[in-house]
Amino acid sequence: MPTNLRLVPVCIDCRKQIRDARPVPVAVHSEGRILTVGPDCLVTGRWIPLAQRPQLGSGEPLNYPPEPLMPERLIRRLAHLGPRPDLRPLIERVVSAWALTTLKWLLTAEEMTDAHRELRVAVAELRAQTRGRLHAVPDGGDPSCGDSA
């Protein structure tokens, strides 16, 4: 029996092996295994990385709210920025407000309006906190910029 086995992480979203990219941890399984996704599925599946995950729930993987509640551009920006523990409180506000908006059967119309307002405010604050950072520009730069490569 070989003694030098190398485990290859599998994406919990697409179920494919993550070979060419760095896996992103999104949760810890109850048996202690780290659950990961690939960088593409991180954005398309709207997964919240473990390093950014607020202390909500029992450790299951969490997702960002769907479009149009939270724009994909913001999720791409968060994925590009990588682990930012300073964003955890804002992400927790977004997830908590989104959870309230799913309780249509429990909330009054006024409470539902307040929950949607809180979600919009939380997303706007998260967007504001992630602005002003360096962003990757694909394919050698923006053609509209005279200084691009």
Closest CA to 8 of 28, 36, 30: 36
Distance of CA 50 to the CA centre of its chain: 9
What percentage of residues in the chain have a pLDDT greater than 70?
81
pLDDT surpassing 80 at residue 17: yes
Q: Higher confidence at residue 30 or residue 36? A: 36
What local confidence, expressed as pLDDT, does residue 116 receive?
A: 94
Asked whether the beta carbons of 33 and 41 are under 8 A apart, the reply is no
Closest CA to 68 of 92, 46, 36, 85: 46
What local confidence, expressed as pLDDT, does residue 22 receive?
A: 85
pLDDT surpassing 60 at residue 95: yes
Distance CA 32, CA 6 (A): 18
Across 17-26, 73-82, 117-126, 137-146, the highest mean pLDDT is recorded for 117-126
Distance CA 110, CA 91 (A): 24
